[in-house]
Amino acid sequence: MRFAQRLSRLGTETAFEVLARAQALEAQGKRVIHLEIGEPDFDTPQYIRKAAADALEAGFTHYGPSAGLPEFRGLIAEQWSRDRAIPCDADNVIVTPGAKPIMFFAMLALLEEGDEVLYPNPGFPIYESVANFLNARAIPLVLREQNGFDLDLQELESKLTSRTRLLVLNSPHNPTGAVLKPETVQAVAALARKHDFHILSDEIYARIQYEGRHLSIASLPGMAERTIVLDGFSKTYAMTGWRLGFGIMEKQLAKHVARLMTNSNSCTATFVQKAGHAALAGGQAEVHAMVEEFRVRRGVIVDGLNALPGVSCFMPRGAFYAFPNITGTGMKSGELAKLMLEEAGVACLSGTAFGAAGEGYLRFSYANSTENIRTALTWLGEYLSVRAK
């Protein structure tokens, strides 16, 4: 079979490959602790599961509008304008199966070949992958530990050209757990207005922030019309497998994205949207409890990593990832991640799974029990101490 050339430009997400390798080891009888995959280990709250079951019984088993159910889009708009000060109504919201399609659709709708996309590196690998796939130019913005993994505004300015069309922000950030400083968000907005580019603001971890309040760039003056906010239910409500996300964007763009939905998925499953509606309308106690539990685990994993020989760990302020610096071990990230899985039974990701600037780091997801995190740290400690001798 002959494949289209464009496939050679499509990247992937290593987490799924590491998960498969870890499961193969488990099938051979090895015990593995999973700190590689980015999903809450909690069950979807019961009231949300019940809403889905009720919706199925009530006949929400048919096609729905490509843009999403109008009441659901209205509720999202109401809450996001109230809680994040993003000026919007239902016509600005497009519901998609998971948040990921918003990356794809926004780039498909906005980028011509050769247009430039600035994206964080290390960062979620799909931004670079989709930009390359569309023959746009993916330009990395390196996030540095000494800068708290914040954006380097000087570097950003120096990389702006007449072809700059889109800048990707992600705060709280995967994989570092960094939260952009409000001054940085303000400065990026000023640059976007001055140089007339768009922002894809990936806010999927906005509700998992341990200090301060999330600031959406779309809430700043003149920014709602040039920002696509990406958000969803996967992380906040432990609904990764349900596939439910959405974008908030300017209305003309929303119409185009709805047409992309018609051409690809037709619509997002309607009973899943009903569950999402219930998630937003119901009490948020379980979300708060989950975030508090993540806060405890963050302390355990960061302290534990800092106690390992050759390892030091930045304190993440959001999401559920720790991104330790491992240069003191003398090993490359990819090599160490592989050995940790094969020899110590701990699955994590190489920092390079998030771009070249992730060299020197590993990513651990602490969406696992405190007990498992402690055991993993003990195994890693034993393994690294033996290696150091």
The residue ranges that bind ligand PLP (CB under 6 A) are 38, 98-100, 124, 170, 174, 202, 204, 232, 234, 240, 245
Minimum distance between the CB of residue 147 and ligand PLP, rounded to whole angstroms? 19
Kind of pairing between the strands at 227-232 and 245-248 = antiparallel
CB of 196 to ligand PLP, least distance (A): 25
Residue number with the smallest Cβ distance to ligand PLP: 98
Q: Residue 368 class from Cβ within 10 Å (0-12 exposed, 13-18 middle, 19+ buried)?
A: buried
Q: How far is the CB of 323 from ligand PLP (least distance, A)?
A: 13
CB of 193 to ligand PLP, least distance (A): 25
> Cβ closer to ligand PLP: 182 or 241?
241
Question: Considering the complex, what minimum distance in angstroms separates the CB of residue 2 from ligand PLP?
Answer: 31
Cα separation, 102 vs 86, whole angstroms: 17
- Minimal distance, residue 307 CB to ligand PLP, in Å: 27
Tell me the HSE value of 75 on the side-chain side, using a 13 A CA sphere.
15
d(CA 349, CA 362): 6
Q: Which is nearer to ligand PLP, 331 or 348 (CB)?
A: 348
In this complex, which beta carbon is closest to ligand PLP, that of residue 219 or of residue 240?
A: 240
Identify which of residues 171 and 184 has a Cβ nearer to ligand PLP in the complex: 171
CB nearer to ligand PLP: pick between 273 and 329: 273
Please answer whether residues 136 and 117 qualify as being in contact, where contact means their C-beta atoms are separated by less than 8 angstroms: yes
Q: Which residues of 164-202 are buried (b: 16+ CB within 10 A; e: fewer)?
A: bbbbbbbbbbbbbbbbbbeebbebbbebbeeeebbbbbb
With contact defined as beta carbons under 8 Å apart, do 260 and 108 qualify? yes
Distance CA(238)–CA(70), nearest Å, equals 24
* Distance in angstroms (rounded) separating the CA atoms of residues 75 and 120: 31
Q: In the complex, what is the shortest distance from the CB of residue 233 to ligand PLP, in angstroms, rounded to a whole number? A: 7
Spatial contact of 56 and 383, defined as CB atoms under 8 Å apart: no
Comparison of 174 and 352: residue with beta carbon closer to ligand PLP: 174
CA–CA gap between residue 354 and residue 123 (Å, rounded): 5
Our CB check for ligand PLP shows the closer of 38 and 345 to be: 38
